[in-house]
Structure 1
């Protein structure tokens, strides 16, 4: 923190020292000579080249002065435009005409500093000090430059020289104290700051108390907590609107796990001296962390009104509205942001997701499809678009969207899974297997891709590959409830490994106790193993969670039938019949209803096959 203070002063000194080119010392007689170059090892006199200028060939002083002033003005202009290198060249040219000017050298040092050429800046300031060792401003600038390159002993030497020569220059005490703080000489720093505080006419005592507070906190927050707190409070007392002291004290409270005190401090400042954007930023984040979204939103409104770049604030406001399920307002805010930044794929993705949440699927799809292939949101957007289009009974369009996405983006595993599932819906099992094979080459450890791979092989009747892929799913993700369920019903369907199948199904139910299909699988396995009463419990629960799935209703009817609860069985079969859209299956259900009346019942099939 104190290093930043010192660095800030470096440019300030350079600006104060700078003046027009003709101020300060200039070359006597205005001869055209380069006095900044001093050759300590000159060649013998007989080898000296003929002089280009003799004592009688004096340059026109007016010409020299106008050239110096012109190039100085040019350097100033370049500096203001941010062209530091050109400014350096201009000030170097000034020195050709006025090599003795200390002000030009300090101005040149400033431009070197901008370019990060600290050693060259130091070289120029040292030349100034060689000419006048008592030059206070040059020594302060040199001290600041040394601080920038962390040459703290040299910086301290310069500040101490200034204080010895100019004991009443109190700002040097502050700069030296800052260096002491940087070198962890905390007591020396505090003593210098207290020396400044003792001055009756010093105007910025609130800053000194603030600096002491920072030192005490840096030194040892636990040990010096009270001392730091007192200093911050004194700074605020002397200047109540001084927000840095409030923020520092609040931050210290938070570091001490006293969030309530920090919150109260910030709230009081906003109420009495605010609203302040810095405090609003901190408060909004604290409110969000505590899920106090209304209060956070108020602080974000402060930021939105006062910041020069409100986009990020508006995004946070929109996310809060989404969190609060205030979707209409969230849509309004996101559309406002899109008008300001129409190229923002992230905002368009958020907007599409909100439309999807409120079941405006067509609007959601429109926005998802506008997201470009180069966007990091592209893959997920196409997955959502494909899913929604399928639900909108636009399977062909969904397949086309995912086919294009599949060609554009190969680094999003969910895209392979969604494309394969759509091809599965379209009964293009060969293409689905091809897509998943490519995906698994790229992502061999992706459990979900193995899961879909297994389900497609189930469509083609290759049970061994179904089992192999589901076992891989469970190996990669032992808590993959759908993989556990699928392997359980596959084994049960084959009348193999029934003990293990029951274990897998029970584990799946533990992981996902409200999934009707999983409950049905366990009920079916128990039914096949003769445990009909426990099977009934799970099948009734399955029907509760999936009341519109015909195959589950049929299975419950089967167990009612076997337990001689014929009226309930008949009711479930009728429900399954009403839900069934497949004519062949509907005919089978009709036969079951008739069979109850005739006391003859055909075999049943597992729910998972009908999923």
Structure 2
């Protein structure tokens, strides 16, 4: 429960009547005119002159304080309101402004309590002040005082709901659930169309239900044994309920002793009926939030009402709510790995429209995330190629094939999609990436070149084309593409590094290579590959001592990269650090076999007997 403590009255300039002298009234009026024109600082100036002419006016001091707050000058406002209080210590409005300013200055909450207590003493009818004071007492861990305050509010305003509502929340904090339920019933009686008390009742009843159906697993317990003891005769329906109540339970055949599990409530459990009744009231409200309807669907599933649960979700399948439902399923259930509930809810959404492409795609994503790739594949494949969603689905289809070792099949899927939608840049990009991965470099180059003819400013595609040209051994063309890309975007760190490293490997234009790599490092200072390039260009320039710290840092950033380890070994060898070179080469070999590195190890001087013990055969 959070209540904003600060309550600042709006700056209002009513005629001061007898609260200010006639001479000060002129400046007060001028201040009002300036304020109406939104010239706040000028208004403050005129109001200060009014105060100077009538320094005994508590009203003017209070108005000045409120205006200084509006101008963002709380310290000056505090001085003004304190003078107003000195002149009229029994004005509740002055005390409210004083408390608000002190809160703005982040003064101790404890100091605000006596001020608000005094406001209530002077004006017992101020409903908002009771709520603020109650919140302050809760913040100070004084629940008895908070309860007393809320009950005083109820006594002064028995026909209004806020006192009962906040008292109910306090009773929940104190775990006085039955009293809280009675209090929220009063709120509903006073304000039957208010959403919050029904939700509070559902929370309390759900908590009580959870406590009543929570059991500890004993040694040797099985799910069926627990069902017999706590729920009834085991049946497929009861087992599904148990799984719905425990969505993170992975293995029902091996229950962990000592852990707690929720058992399906018996049919006559009164708490179930009370929760249903609370939801029924909510469902009759026009502004019933989608998320609450989904909560109701989950509750129905947990209590064995699968059909009604799916019907509840099916009612949410329209153009106004579908997107919100899918978003909520992912944010609440999928992110918490509650896949079975997520799938059930979306199947309910889908039940009256089985071919809806958005729902099919969302279900595919959930099954894929849950590791159920075959089912995900079927869902993606069931989307019509004519639907715009298919473009996203086809990419996931290809990735599933790639992950299951059927990359060529994934390529065929992307080729068909490309044939149907030849202008789709996303499909082109993924098809090119798959060609590149499977070393169909010529095909990849054609795809990327065609794409660049359509979109010559596409930096990602140009970068991939440069990489593919390099892999084809066409260094000059690779260099050309990277140079064009850097001209388009001088801060493209990956292109700067790629071109710099390529020049370094070719041992040409080494000064330019150093400049390019250094600039890349400035843009991405913590990148292990760029750091390696920096060290490597120094090595190629014949500066191994200068190269060493960069390659050691690159190795710390990417300790499992075999090429960086090889570079590090080369630098150690150039510096005469034979043992360190050997260790770097050997570690590289452990990660990736290389006849070239084996030759480098053999070229080193014969190790000592002690060193030989450390060399893995």
Q: TM-score, normalised by structure 1?
A: 0.49
Give the structure with higher Rg (CA): 1
